[in-house]
Chain A
Amino acid sequence: MRTTWTLTKMRMRLAMRNRAFLFFSLLMPLAFLFLYSSLFAKGEPRVVGFLFPSVLALTVMGSFWGLSIQLVLFREHGILRRFRLTPVGPAALLASSILSNYILTLPTVALEFMLVRAVYDVTTFGNLWGGWLFITLGIVTFAAFGLIVASLTNTMQETQVLNNAIWFLFLFFSGATLPLVFFPEWLQRLSMFLPATHLVVGLQFTLIGAVPVRSLGPEVVALVGGAGLAFALSWKLFRWEPGEKISRSAKVWAAAVIIPFLLLGVWENALDARRTELQEIYKSLGERTRSLPDQR
C-alpha cells in the first residue's frame, strides 16, 4: 500500500507538469461543458441539467486515453524496466495509475458541478451520492480499460489507433453525445453492450431521475466487474520490457474484459427496461421545459 501511495504521488506530480494532461483533463471537459450547456441546451437550466450527466461521463471516460499512453511511454522509454529492479510489483504500478487519475479527475468534476450551478442555475442534482458513486466507478473502470489498451499494444502508434477506435464508439454510441432516445431502436439495443452506455445511464438516472443506486444494480455490477477484470488482466499481461511483444493468447485473455458488458447487454435487451425508462425521463423533461416559460 505504501509503495502504491509513493508511486501515486509521483504520478500526480508528473501529470501536473504535463501540458497534455492539463489540456485533456481540465480544458477539454470544461469545453464540453460550455458547448453542451450554451450551445445545445441554450442555457436552459433543465436542459443543461439533462445534458450534464453526459458531460460528466465524457470527463470521466477520457481517463483511459491518458493512462494507456502514459504506460506505453513508460514501457517504450525503458522507465518500467528500471522500476523492475526495485521492490515494486506490477499491481502497485497499475494501481497508482488509477489512483492518481482518480484524485486528479475529482477537482475537474467538482469544478463542473460548481459551474453548472453558478453559471447555468442548475440547482438540483437528484441523487448526488449515487452520482458520485458512478463518477468513481467511471474513473476507475475506464482507467482500467486504459491499462488493458496498454497491455494489448506494442507501440505508441497501435495504442493511438486502438484509443481512437474505442473513444469513437464511446463518444457516439453511448448517449454521451446524442441522447440515446434519438437513436433508431436497433442502435439503442446495440448501445446496451457498451460500458460507456452504463456509465451514462447510471449518471443520468441518479442525477436527473434521483434513482437510488439499488435500482441500478446491473450497471454497478457491470462497471465493477469490468474494472476488476481489466485490472486483473492488465496485471497478468503486464510487460516491463520494451522489446517484449504481446502474445496471441494474451489478446484472447484481454477479450475477457468485455464479458460483463456482453452479459449486461443481453440482460438489458431481454428486459428492455432501461430504454423505456430513458424515453420517459426524456419525455418528462420535454413537458417540463415547455411549461417553463408559463411559470415565469
Chain B
Amino acid sequence: MNEPVIRVEQLRKRYGSVEALRGVSFQVHEGEVFGLLGPNGAGKTTTVEILEGMRTADAGQAQVCGLDPRRGGAAFQRQIGAVLQHTALPDKLRVGEAVELFANLYGRRRKLDALLERLGLADKQRAFYDELSGGQRQRLALALALVHEPRVLFLDEPTAGLDPQVRREIYEIIEELRREGKTILLTTHYIEEAERLCDRVAIMDYGKLIALGTPAELRQRSANTTRIAVRLAQPIEDGRLRQLEGVVDCRPISDGYLLHSQRPPQTIVALVKQLEALGNELQSLEISAPTLEDVFIELTGRSLRD
C-alpha cells in the first residue's frame, strides 16, 4: 500500500490539568475521507489543529504528506487546505475579493469563477462577508480551502450550527470532492455526517480513539443488537425494562425508551407481558438496525449528545 497521506502516532496533548489527547494513532490514505466522530471535548479539534500545524503536541508524532506540521512553511501550507472552527473574514471583504486574495497569497491564478460556480457562490461575488448566511460563509470557507488545490483537506465540524437543508448542501460538495479523489479528514459530532460521507470513521472519546473502521464495520460491532424504540401510555421505571429478556441497554429518550436487545422477539414478548401486568399500554414500537450512535453508546455508555 502507498505511504499514508496522514500519519498520527501516539499523540498526546495536555491543557493545564486536562488531558485533551491521550495517545491517539491513526493513518489516512490517499483519496480517503476519514472522519473523527465524537462529542464536544473528545479531542477532535486538537488532533486536527496539530495536523494543520496550529498546535504542537506534547508527545507523539504527526506527519502530513510526509512533512512535519510543526515545521510548517510554505511547502507544507500548499499541501493542506482547511475549514476551521471559530474563524472569520473581515466584514467588508467581498466574496470575490476574498477568493482572489487567497489565490494570490498562494501564488495561484486558477479560474476562480469556476470554483465560485461550483460552490454556489457565483451570484454572491459582490456580497460583503457580513451579508452572508451561515451556509454561504461555510461554502466560502470551503472555496478558500480549495483555492490552491491542496492535496489534503481538513474540515473541522464543517456543518456545525447549520440547518439541515444547508447541511445537505455542504454534504453534496464534500461528496463531489470525494469523487474527485481528494483526501479529507473531517471531524463531526453528527452521526449521519460520518455515516454518509466517510470511508472510515474513528470514534473519539476523552482524548482516545475507542473504535476505528468503515461505518459498516463499526455497525457490525453492534450487529447482534437491535434498537427498539417504544412509547408507553404511562412512564415506567427503566430498571424494569432493563431486566427484560435479551435487553443489554435501556435509556429514556424524548418520548419513550430506547432498548438495545440481542434477542428482539423474546424482548418484545416479555415487554408486552410486563406492560399487561402493570396495566400500562404500548402506544408504539419501532425496530431498527444499529447506527453509529448505537456503537457509540455501546462503547461509552453515553449518547453522543450527552
A275 at the interface (CB under 8 A from B): no
A213 vs B52: C-alpha distance when bound (angstroms): 50
A87 vs B104: C-alpha distance when bound (angstroms): 10
Asked if A82 and B92 sit within 8 Å, CB to CB, the answer is no
Given A10-B93, A86-B77, A87-B74, does the pair A81, B54 have CB atoms closer than 8 Å?
A: yes
6 new A-B pairs (CB below 8 Å) besides A79-B87, A87-B106? A10-B93, A78-B87, A81-B86, A82-B144, A83-B105, A87-B77
A278 vs B77: C-alpha distance when bound (angstroms): 55
> Which residues of chain B are within 8 angstroms of A74 by Cβ–Cβ distance?
90
**What's the nearest-Cβ distance from chain A to residue B135, in Å?**
18
Contact of A6 among B54, B82, B87, B105 (CB under 8 A): B105
> Which residues of chain A are within 8 angstroms of B88 by Cβ–Cβ distance?
77-79, 82
Which stretch from A12-20, A24-32, A36-44, A160-168 is at the chain B interface? A12-20
A228 vs B70: C-alpha distance when bound (angstroms): 29
A274 vs B102: C-alpha distance when bound (angstroms): 50
Contact indicator per residue, chain B 54-97, by CB within 8 Å of chain A (1) or not (0): 10000000000000000000100110101010111110110001
Asked if A85 and B82 sit within 8 Å, CB to CB, the answer is yes
Asked if B92 and A87 sit within 8 Å, CB to CB, the answer is no
> Which residues of chain A are within 8 angstroms of B84 by Cβ–Cβ distance?
78, 81-82, 85
Interface residues of B in 98-128 (CB under 8 A from A): 101-102, 104-107
**What's the nearest-Cβ distance from chain A to residue B187, in Å?**
16
* A and B contact pairs by CB, cutoff 8 A, 26 listed: A2-B107, A6-B101, A6-B104, A7-B101, A10-B90, A10-B97, A13-B93, A13-B97, A14-B92, A14-B93, A78-B84, A81-B84, A81-B87, A82-B84, A82-B87, A82-B89, A84-B54, A85-B52, A85-B53, A85-B54, A85-B77, A86-B102, A87-B77, A87-B78, A87-B106, A241-B54
What is the count of residue pairs linking A and B with beta-carbon distances less than 8 angstroms? Answer: 63
Interface residues of A in 78-104 (CB under 8 A from B): 78-79, 81-88
Q: What residue of chain A has the Cβ atom nearest to residue B76's Cβ?
A: A87
Asked if A87 and B105 sit within 8 Å, CB to CB, the answer is yes
> Which residues of chain B are within 8 angstroms of A81 by Cβ–Cβ distance?
54, 84, 86-87
> Which residues of chain B are within 8 angstroms of A13 by Cβ–Cβ distance?
92-93, 97
Asked if A10 and B52 sit within 8 Å, CB to CB, the answer is no
Give the dominant DSSP class at B's interface. Answer: loop
**What's the nearest-Cβ distance from chain A to residue B85, in Å?**
9
> Which residues of chain A are within 8 angstroms of B93 by Cβ–Cβ distance?
10, 13-14
**What's the nearest-Cβ distance from chain B to residue A72, in Å?**
13
**What's the nearest-Cβ distance from chain B to residue A88, in Å?**
6
Asked if A18 and B92 sit within 8 Å, CB to CB, the answer is yes
B: residues with CB less than 8 A from A are 52-54, 74, 77-78, 80, 82, 84, 86-90, 92-93, 97, 101-102, 104-107, 144
> Which residues of chain B are within 8 angstroms of A10 by Cβ–Cβ distance?
90, 93, 97, 101
**What's the nearest-Cβ distance from chain A to residue B5, in Å?**
17
Contact indicator per residue, chain A 224-261, by CB within 8 Å of chain B (1) or not (0): 00000000000000001110000000000000000000
**What's the nearest-Cβ distance from chain B to residue A86, in Å?**
5
Q: What residue of chain B has the Cβ atom nearest to residue A77's Cβ?
A: B88
> Which residues of chain A are within 8 angstroms of B74 by Cβ–Cβ distance?
87
Asked if A17 and B102 sit within 8 Å, CB to CB, the answer is no
Q: What residue of chain B has the Cβ atom nearest to residue A79's Cβ?
A: B88
Determine which residue in B77, B104, B144 has the highest number of CB atoms from chain A within 10 A of its CB, and name it: B104
Contact indicator per residue, chain A 63-75, by CB within 8 Å of chain B (1) or not (0): 0000000000010
A7 vs B93: C-alpha distance when bound (angstroms): 12
> Which residues of chain B are within 8 angstroms of A88 by Cβ–Cβ distance?
105
> Which residues of chain A are within 8 angstroms of B144 by Cβ–Cβ distance?
82
**What's the nearest-Cβ distance from chain B to residue A100, in Å?**
13
> Which residues of chain B are within 8 angstroms of A289 by Cβ–Cβ distance?
none
Asked if A78 and B101 sit within 8 Å, CB to CB, the answer is no
A84 vs B144: C-alpha distance when bound (angstroms): 13
Q: What residue of chain B has the Cβ atom nearest to residue A76's Cβ?
A: B88
Q: What residue of chain B has the Cβ atom nearest to residue A3's Cβ?
A: B105
> Which residues of chain B are within 8 angstroms of A78 by Cβ–Cβ distance?
84, 86-88
> Which residues of chain A are within 8 angstroms of B92 by Cβ–Cβ distance?
13-14, 17-18
> Which residues of chain B are within 8 angstroms of A77 by Cβ–Cβ distance?
88
**What's the nearest-Cβ distance from chain B to residue A8, in Å?**
11
**What's the nearest-Cβ distance from chain B to residue A67, in Å?**
14
Determine which residue in A13, A14, A85, A240 has the highest number of CB atoms from chain B within 10 A of its CB, and name it: A85
> Which residues of chain B are within 8 angstroms of A83 by Cβ–Cβ distance?
105
Asked if B80 and A85 sit within 8 Å, CB to CB, the answer is yes
Asked if B105 and A79 sit within 8 Å, CB to CB, the answer is no
Contact indicator per residue, chain A 162-191, by CB within 8 Å of chain B (1) or not (0): 000000000000000000000000000000
Q: What residue of chain B has the Cβ atom nearest to residue A17's Cβ?
A: B92
A86 vs B147: C-alpha distance when bound (angstroms): 11
Given A85-B77, A86-B77, A87-B74, does the pair A79, B52 have CB atoms closer than 8 Å?
A: no
**What's the nearest-Cβ distance from chain A to residue B181, in Å?**
22
A18 vs B90: C-alpha distance when bound (angstroms): 11
A86 vs B80: C-alpha distance when bound (angstroms): 9
**What's the nearest-Cβ distance from chain A to residue B239, in Å?**
44
A32 vs B182: C-alpha distance when bound (angstroms): 58
